């Protein structure tokens, strides 16, 4: 019975915290933002968390549950672990793009050396 009471109290606390969370807009419109692959969406989600009054308990709960993915408590989770940063999808470019530098008031295009695969 004591265990059931604790579980019930935990559910009430979770419901209370959820109502004041920055990610809860009442419509569920922000869900995609917190589970997006897009780097800009991830940054926006983290920014929303930065001022959230329940950031710490959210992060602690996500760590305890080993959340498989998403932004929780201002941190990005993947496979139950916090990622420092997310890399872009795909293979990194082999070549740097051309750069434009100014020499004596003249724009000069600098093309980096091309490497073969």
pLDDT in tens, the chain (117 residues): 333 433 445 677 667 677 889 898 888 889 999 999 998 999 999 999 999 999 999 999 999 999 999 999 999 999 898 987 776 666 666 666 777 777 777 777 776 655 444
Say if CB 68 and CB 79 are below 8 A apart: yes
Domain ranges of the chain: 2-83
Exposed/middle/buried for residue 70 (C-beta within 10 Å: 0-12, 13-18, 19+): middle
Strand order from edge to edge, sheet including 69-72:
69-72, 75-78, 81-83
Distance separating alpha carbons of residues 43 and 76, to the nearest angstrom: 10
């Amino acid at each position: 019975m004591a265990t059931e009471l604790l579980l019930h109290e935990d559910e009430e606390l979770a419901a209370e915290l959820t109502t004041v969370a920055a990610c809860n807009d009442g419509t569920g419109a922000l869900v995609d933002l917190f589970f997006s692959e897009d780097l800009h969406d991830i940054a926006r989600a983290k920014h929303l968390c930065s001022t959230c009054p329940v950031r710490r308990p959210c992060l602690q709960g996500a760590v305890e549950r080993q959340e498989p993915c998403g932004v929780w408590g201002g941190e990005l989770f993947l496979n139950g672990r916090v990622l420092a940063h997310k890399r872009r999808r795909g293979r990194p470019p082999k070549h740097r793009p051309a750069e434009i530098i100014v020499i004596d008031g003249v724009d000069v295009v600098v093309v980096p050396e091309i490497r073969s695969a």
